[in-house]
């Protein structure tokens, strides 16, 4: 695990689609923009180590998607891929981002894929990290396990860390603490509760942990695209990942060793090396 340096991003907010959305701005204005999208139950800070590595070369911004982190929750439970698409579209428009390097993990990868298919002229390169483009029984079961194992209330933040480590035993302890610290908040009575809208978990349960089929959108993505899979991921099989790559006009596949569903955090050195290689390639 790379040691976190004392470089801090700037906390910023935008009012988008009647919600106040939070994002981290790592500086580098005027450089090519890099937009980072976290997964379900995640937050903008899961990208901190990655952002530190790339901030001197790109204008890195990491968004707390609606219902997550420091962003507001939707009273109407509007958390569909269309709702996220509308947020990302407006976010890119307000910040006047162009030639974007768009990187998304899991749910964030699905949102990134959908946006890139609808606005291919905005995206220079796309990286999808352990993100399923359609339903499968193993991936739906993996999502159920993920949602079931995170406590909705706890007396100690260390219990959250333990839950994360049970799900992701390959995750460094420092990373588990970092994810828990920014993913939970302490109430007035001293309890710790998630920052993400836990009603999303009920939505997932009602839909049998399914996901929209994005297969038909893949052919619309013209930019170079890196498909990343954790070597032991229960969400995205190697067979499916290779099928996805074959359908991208300019797709590249990388499998990160010693990782499961969170290769960015489980094996940051190898993931960042793969990202650098892809961004500097001629593909």
- Per the listing, tokens 């706890």 go with 154
CA proximity to 272, closest of 259, 115, 241: 259
Beta-bridged to residue 225, according to DSSP, are 126, 251
Task: List, for residues 191-249, the tens digit of each pLDDT value.
Answer: 999 999 999 999 998 888 888 889 899 989 999 999 999 999 999 999 999 989 998 98
Q: Which residues contact 34 (CB under 8 A, 6 or more apart)?
A: 54, 58, 59, 60, 61, 100, 101, 102, 103
Residue 1 pLDDT:
41
Q: Using CA atoms of 229, 232, 233, 236 in order, give the dihedral in degrees to the nearest 10.
A: 60
C-alpha distances in Å from residue 4, one per residue of 7, 174, 201, 242: 8, 9, 31, 33
Domains recognised in the chain with CATH numbers: 10-134+213-279 (3.40.50.1820)
125 vs 137: CA distance, rounded Å: 30
Answer for the pair 44, 22: CB distance below 8 angstroms, yes or no.
yes
Task: State the Cα angle at 268 between 181 and 50, rounded to 5°.
Answer: 65
Q: How far apart are the first and last CA of the chain?
A: 29
**pLDDT tens-digit readout, 134-179:** 778 888 988 998 888 889 999 999 999 999 999 999 999 999 999 9
Distance CA 250, CA 123 (A): 13
pLDDT tens, position by position, 84-136: 999 999 999 999 999 999 999 999 999 999 999 999 999 999 999 999 887 78
On the 0-12 / 13-18 / 19+ scale of CB atoms within 10 A, 80 is exposed
Closest CA to 180 of 194, 169, 166: 194
- Residue pair 223/195 in contact (Cβ under 8 Å)? The answer is no
pLDDT, tens only, 219-234: 899 999 999 999 999 9
Neighbours of 247 (CB within 10 A): 12
């Amino acid at each position: 695990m790379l040691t976190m340096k004392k470089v801090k991003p700037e906390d910023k907010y935008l009012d988008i689609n009647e919600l106040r959305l939070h994002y981290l701005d790592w500086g580098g204005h005027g450089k090519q923009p890099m937009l980072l999208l976290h997964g379900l139950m995640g937050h903008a800070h899961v990208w901190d180590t990655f952002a530190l590595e790339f901030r001197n070369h790109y204008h890195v911004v990491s968004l707390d998607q609606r219902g997550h982190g420091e962003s507001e929750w939707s009273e109407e439970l509007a958390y569909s891929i269309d709702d996220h698409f509308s947020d990302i579209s407006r976010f890119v428009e307000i910040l006047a981002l162009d030639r974007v390097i768009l990187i998304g993990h899991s749910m964030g990868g699905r949102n990134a894929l959908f946006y890139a298919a609808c606005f291919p002229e905005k995206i220079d390169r796309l990286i999808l990290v352990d993100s399923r483009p359609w339903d499968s029984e193993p991936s739906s079961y993996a999502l159920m396990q993920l949602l079931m194992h995170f406590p909705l209330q706890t007396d100690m933040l260390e219990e959250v860390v333990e839950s994360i480590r049970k799900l992701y035993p390959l995750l460094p302890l420092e990373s588990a603490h970092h994810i828990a610290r920014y993913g939970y908040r302490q109430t007035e009575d001293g309890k710790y509760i998630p920052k993400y809208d836990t009603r999303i978990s009920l939505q997932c349960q009602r839909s049998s942990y399914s996901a929209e089929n994005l297969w038909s959108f893949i052919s619309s993505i013209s930019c170079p695209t890196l498909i990343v899979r954790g070597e032991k991921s229960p969400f995205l099989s190697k067979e499916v990942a290779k099928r996805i790559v074959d359908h991208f006009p300019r797709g590249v596949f990388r499998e990160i060793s010693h990782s499961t569903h969170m290769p960015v955090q489980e094996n940051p050195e190898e993931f960042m090396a793969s990202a650098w290689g892809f961004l500097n390639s001629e593909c």
